[in-house]
A and B are shown apart, each in its own frame.
Chain A
Amino acid sequence: NAGVTQTPKFRVLKTGQSMTLLCAQDMNHEYMYWYRQDPGMGLRLIHYSVGEGTTAKGEVPDGYNVSRLKKQNFLLGLESAAPSQTSVYFCASRTLYGYTFGSGTRLTVV
């Protein structure tokens, strides 16, 4: 099925560990996004990309890095995880009229 695929779906990290979240889309979209969703805070933009090889900071970029080496993939990295990064992470790609979201990664940092 066409769409946005996120891996993994669940992960538990210890404080200070690193990990990479993978997002893949097969719709040939130029724009891709990483959001985090927290209770009472809504969806907040972490980083985004307007095309292969480009990245830009969103609203809450600190503690995260991203890469877009291939058009279909957008990676989100946590170099040294902190409990404040416990959240549900969503990747999305964009058409002219709306976003298509993945099903999310639930990350817990203990």
Chain B
Amino acid sequence: TQLLEQSPQFLSIQEGENLTVYCNSSSVFSSLQWYRQEPGEGPVLLVTVVTGGEVKKLKRLTFQFGDARKDSSLHITAAQPGDTGLYLCAGMNYGGSQGNLIFGKGTKLSVKP
């Protein structure tokens, strides 16, 4: 069974601070996705990384896929209250399980003004 472990589970910081969220597995994934979910809404896709070592930037968010495609990180620079939400990583393998996503349990981020 493939598992994705996210850390930390909870994170409460002040506006302007930097933070990093980690997503780790013992399994290799074809691609890794990051989603953000706000209360009362469904997850929204932020980014997909597919190549080992790949780095993608989305404004103040930087996503990295590990060289071995087993782990990923999300770094937020100068966090803002609007970044508050549940961040989910999800791994996909195109070969095995019909390409179904395997989700981590999430990191709940609170950014205080």
How far apart are the CA atoms of A102 and B90 in the complex, in Å?
Answer: 17
Contact B48 A99 (CB under 8 A): no
User: Which residue of the partner chain, among B40, B88, B90, B103, contacts A104 with CB atoms under 8 Å?
Assistant: B40
User: Which residue of the partner chain, among A31, A42, A97, contacts B103 with CB atoms under 8 Å?
Assistant: A42
Question: Secondary structure of the A side of the interface?
Answer: strand
Contact B40 A94 (CB under 8 A): no
Does A100 have its Cβ within 8 Å of any Cβ on chain B? yes
How far apart are the CA atoms of A98 and B43 in the complex, in Å?
Answer: 11
Does B110 have its Cβ within 8 Å of any Cβ on chain A? no
How far apart are the CA atoms of A45 and B106 in the complex, in Å?
Answer: 15
Contact A33 B100 (CB under 8 A): yes
Within A18-61, which residues are at the interface with B (CB < 8 Å)? 31, 33, 40-43, 45, 48, 50, 56, 58
Number of contacting residues on A, CB 8 A?
Answer: 23
Residue of B nearest to A39 (CB): B105
Q: How far is the CB of A102 from chain B (nearest CB, A)?
A: 5
Chain A residues lying within 8 Å of B44, measured Cβ to Cβ, are 101
How far apart are the CA atoms of A41 and B44 in the complex, in Å?
Answer: 19
Does A74 have its Cβ within 8 Å of any Cβ on chain B? no
User: Which residue of the partner chain, among A40, A41, A45, A104, contacts B42 with CB atoms under 8 Å?
Assistant: A104
- Interface set of B (CB-CB < 8 Å, partner A): 31, 33, 35, 40-45, 48, 88, 90, 98-101, 103-106
Given contacts A48-B98, A97-B31, A101-B42, 13 further A-B pairs with CB under 8 A are A31-B99, A40-B105, A42-B104, A43-B43, A43-B88, A43-B103, A50-B98, A90-B43, A92-B42, A97-B33, A99-B35, A99-B43, A101-B44
What 8 A-B pairs have minimum CB-CB distances, sorted nearest first? A101-B42, A42-B105, A98-B45, A43-B103, A97-B48, A101-B43, A103-B42, A42-B103
